[in-house]
Each structure stands twice: as C-alpha cells, then as structure tokens.
Amino acid sequence: MDDLFNQLVSRLKTAHGDDLISVVLHGSAVATARAAHKSDYKLMVITKTLSAEALRQTQPVAKWWVSAGFPLPVYFTESEFNDSLDVFPIEFQQMKRAYRVLYGRDVLAGAQVSNANLRLQIEYELRGKLLRLRALYLPASDSAEGLKKLMADSIVSFVQFMRPILDLFGEEPPLDRRAVIQRVGGRLGLDTSALDRVLRLRSESTRLLEMEVQDLFADYISCLTRLIAAVDKI
C-alpha cells in the first residue's frame, strides 16, 4: 500500500504544484490493523484554490486512483475545510479518530468540532432517516418478508448515526453495532432492545409471522422516536 500512496502523492504534487496543502488518508482501514479492502480507505485532499482548471488537471490522478480500487477523493480548499467544521462535524470527528497524513500539513490536528454542531447533525440525520423509514413502510408492508428486509437494511444507517452520540459524552464509540445500541441506551436511559432485535434480523434466518413482523416494526418506530427525542434534549 505504501508504494501506491507514494505514487498518489507524487501525482497530486504534479497536478497541483504549490497549491497542494495536505493529503489525508482516513476510514475504517486506518482505524484497524486488520487486513482491509481498498474501499475502506478514504482520501481527503486540501488545496489553496480549486478552480475548474485545477479539477481538470487532477482528473487523470482520480481516474488512476479509482482504477486501483479506491473510492474517489474528496477535495476541499483550505478555507472551505475551515468553514465546513460546523457543517460536517460527524465526518470530521470520525476522521480525527484515525487518520494518516500522506503529505503536507496535518489540518485535522487543530480542527475543533463543536458538540453543539455535532448534536444538531446527529438529530438531523436520525430524523431524516426516520421520515424515510416511515415512507418506505408503505410499499414494504405488503409482505412480512418485505417489511423484515426494510428493518434489517435500515438499522445499519441508524446505528451509524448513533455512534457519534457517544462522542457527545466523551466516550469512544465501539465498532460492534450491538455494543453501540447497548451503550447509547445506557447513556440516554432508554430501552433499546427493539433496535437490538431488528439488528439480529440481519443474521437470523428464522421466519416470522406477519403479525410478529408488524409488532416488531411498531416497537422499532417507537424506540427510534424516543431515541430522537432524547437526542433533542441533550
């Protein structure tokens, strides 16, 4: 991987010259020592300016990077990065947890994420996902299997935005989804067993009766509603 990363930096320096400020690698692959897929490496590139011409110059680099199996890089100008800390607090908080500077200045070292902004984005994401879940219930409720799949698919997104709730309490969020559900429930004083039951649908092959699935969905929605109300009051 280091050879690829060195090639990447060399190509970015050629494309951007003195405008290149920082190249930062982050993502789950950086957070764990286990063997990782290339798709688990995320890339952030910081430049002084970023005109349409500059983007055109970096197009071959991005094409080469993606062809090697990595996701597309995310670009910020330095001013955009500083002005975005209040807009993307969850993303920057996750970056700060595990990252590697491949080139230039460590822009994340001094980046401060406000708890107020973090709480607001958590609530925004959870509320949006709840609204979407309710809308998707209408077509999915035609069958028990359809509703079961909807719950099993949606729980992953909800847990993703439950993790930063623990950041608000100064606690390192675990990687295990069940542990996240349990710890958040403890922190907020909520019974999150319905979320745990929905999460188990992803690994269990047991068939449920339609009434059982409908009852579980009702508990699921009720638990999510209480969770969001609790986040609103943090």
Across the chain, where does the E strand assignment appear? 20-26, 42-47, 74-77, 99-104
How far is CA 152 from its chain centroid? 18
Q: Is 86 found in the same domain as 66?
A: yes
Output DSSP code: residue 107: T
Find out whether 217 and 195 touch, Cβ atoms under 8 Å: no
Supply the CATH number for residue 74's domain.
3.30.460.10
What pLDDT was estimated at residue 91? 94
Q: Is residue 35 part of a domain?
A: yes
Choose one of 38, 69, 104: the last residue of a domain: 104
Residues 67 and 127 in one domain: no
Are 36 and 28 a contacting pair, CB within 8 Å?
yes
pLDDT of residue 204: 82
Instruction: Name the residue range of residue 46's domain.
Output: 2-104
Q: Do 45 and 8 form a contact (C-beta atoms < 8 A)?
A: no
Strands 74-77 and 42-47: what pairing? parallel
Domain count for the chain, please give it: 2
Q: Domain end: 104, 125, 148, which one?
A: 104
What would the two tokens of residue 96 be?
Answer: 């700060």
Shared domain check, 192 and 142: yes
Report pLDDT for 27. Answer: 84
Candidates 167, 160, 158; CA nearest to 228 is: 158
On the question of pLDDT at 103 being above 90, the answer is: yes
The pLDDT value given to residue 51: 93
**Residue 109 domain flag:** no
Alpha helices in the chain (DSSP H): 2-16, 28-31, 52-67, 78-83, 89-97, 115-140, 144-168, 177-188, 193-200, 210-232
Which of 220, 226, 79, 57 is CA-nearest to residue 136? 220
Q: Is the model more confident about 35 or about 93?
A: 93
Domain for residue 110, yes or no?
no
State the CATH number of the domain containing residue 200. Answer: 1.20.120
Residues 77 and 132 in one domain: no
Query: Is pLDDT at 15 greater than 80 in this prediction?
Result: yes
Q: Which amino acid would we find at residue 222?
A: S
Residues 89 and 150 in one domain: no
Give the pLDDT band (50/70/90) at residue 34: low
Same domain membership, residue 218 and residue 178: yes
CA distance 108 to 16: 21
Residues 39, 176: Cα–Cα separation, whole Å = 19
Asked whether residue 183 is domain-assigned, the answer is: yes
Q: How far apart are the C-alpha atoms of 138 and 147, rounded to whole Å?
A: 9
Cα-Cα-Cα-Cα dihedral sign, residues 63, 68, 71, 76: negative
| Residues 50 and 98 both lie in one domain | yes
Residue 217 CA to residue 194 CA, distance in Å, equals 9
User: Both 85 and 145 in a single domain?
Assistant: no
User: What pLDDT does 97 receive?
Assistant: 86
Integer Cα distance of 7 and 13 in angstroms = 10
Helix (H, G, I), strand (E, B) or coil at 178: helix
Q: Are residues 138 and 214 in the same domain?
A: yes
- If asked whether residues 129 and 92 sit together in one domain, one would say no
Percent of the chain clearing pLDDT 90 (strictly above): 83
- In a shared domain, residues 13 and 32: yes
Residues 223 and 204 in one domain: yes
End-of-domain residue from the set 104, 134, 165:
104
pLDDT for the residue numbered 207: 80
Flag whether 187 is in a domain. Answer: yes
Helices (H), 141-209: 144-168, 177-188, 193-200
